[in-house]
Amino acid sequence: MRKVTQTLSALVLTGLLVSGCVTATPYQPLDPGQKAMGGYGEQQLETNRYRLTFAGNSVTRRETVETYLLYRAAELTLAQGFESFSVVQRATDRKARTITEPDPFGMSGFGRGPGLYWHPYWRYSVTGLGWRSWDPFGRDPFWADQMQTRTIEKFEASAEILLLKTPKDTSDPASFDARQVVANLAPKVIKPAP
């Protein structure tokens, strides 16, 4: 019993450590070698027109991806010596995939059956229903609650912007004052640790 408890404790601790390592994508340039980490990218189309993207990882919220894209647009505008920018085109793409995995502990719950002890267990296939399992200790004979299903989402925002030397056009809702955007969004922007 003690060995089982130690093993379970080690598994839980390992899971907590691994899950703690996954953090939202910080505001950083996109590294082509580590595309899964995410970040911003840009492409100059004309002297004062750019296409920008910001891709987040699987734990980066949509709002964060869109905020970082807007911040990058303002930062780029100021770096190029312009005062304001206008968003010509903007989109946010959602990539989602659903994963069904076996329960990591091989059982549906801690309250039923003998827990983590070894016991006989059989799997069989049923035409039209797929693989099933049978457990003599009374767990689900149809295996349904021994699977975990989760959806993984990733967001990528893109925009085409026009850099302007003039102040923001107050009649255009797609026009932004770059200095104000940087000042307002800077507290929400998390940059990677040096």
0.75 exceeded by pTM: no
Residue 55 is assigned to a structural domain of this protein: yes
Contacts of 89 (CB under 8 A, 6+ apart): 159, 160
CATH of the domain at 57: 3.30.1360
**169 CB neighbour count, 10 Å cutoff:** 14
pLDDT tens string 50-89: 999 999 999 999 999 999 999 999 999 999 999 999 999 9
Confirm whether 33 is domain-assigned. Answer: yes
How would you write 156-175 as a 3-class SS string? Answer: EEEEEEEEECCCCCCCCCCE
* Polymer length in residues for the chain: 194
Residue 22: strand, helix, or coil? coil
- Report pLDDT for 128: 62
Dump pLDDT digits (tens) for 90-145: 999 999 988 877 655 554 444 444 445 555 555 556 666 665 555 555 554 444 45
Rounded Cα gap, residues 32 and 40, in angstroms = 11
In a domain, 1, yes or no: no
Tell me, yes or no, whether 26 lies in a domain: yes
The string of pLDDT tens digits covering residues 18-33 is 444 578 999 999 987 7
In a domain, 105, yes or no: no
